[in-house]
Amino acid sequence: MNNVKLIDLPKILDKRGNLSFFENNHQIPFDIKRTYWIYDVPGGETRGSHAFKEQQEFIIALSGSFDVVLHDGKEERTYSLNRSYSGLYIPHMIWRKIDNFSTNSLALIVSDRAFDETDYIRDFEEFMTKNLYKYE
């Protein structure tokens, strides 16, 4: 869990409206290969519920709010995201689920890899087994 990081992005305050940004390898610690977003989430739904073997991600609540619940094989930690200038860096091999989406929330996610279903671990028991060696 030590490598998980909440990252505050630059915020250019302006009477006309504020602006934030991030660039490859500057505000976030990887090269961006892919961007996707999660929206129109019905109340009470959960997204995620998987880990990635290699992929790293950075998640921002561009609009609204949601909770990112992480597990590193040893402990669980919940991050509530609700600012469009602050995001969560998640290294590989961290189990995540995203829930508690507010109405009209928009989750922006950038990743260091192209989509690859073989990089997913979708079974929590399998994830825990793969982590055992770390905590022996």
Interface residues toward ligand TYD, by CB under 6 A: 34, 36, 38, 47-48, 50, 115
**Shortest Cβ distance from residue 113 to ligand TYD (Å)?**
9
> Which residue in this structure is represented by tokens 């009470």?
44
**Shortest Cβ distance from residue 26 to ligand TYD (Å)?**
23
DSSP state of 109: E
Q: Nearest Cα to 121, choosing from 99, 98, 91, 95?
A: 95
Query: Token pair for residue 11?
Result: 């915020």
Gyration radius of the chain over CA positions: 15
11 or 62: whose CB is closer to ligand TYD?
Answer: 62
Residue 92 is among the residues annotated as catalytic for this protein: no
21 or 36: whose CB is closer to ligand TYD?
Answer: 36
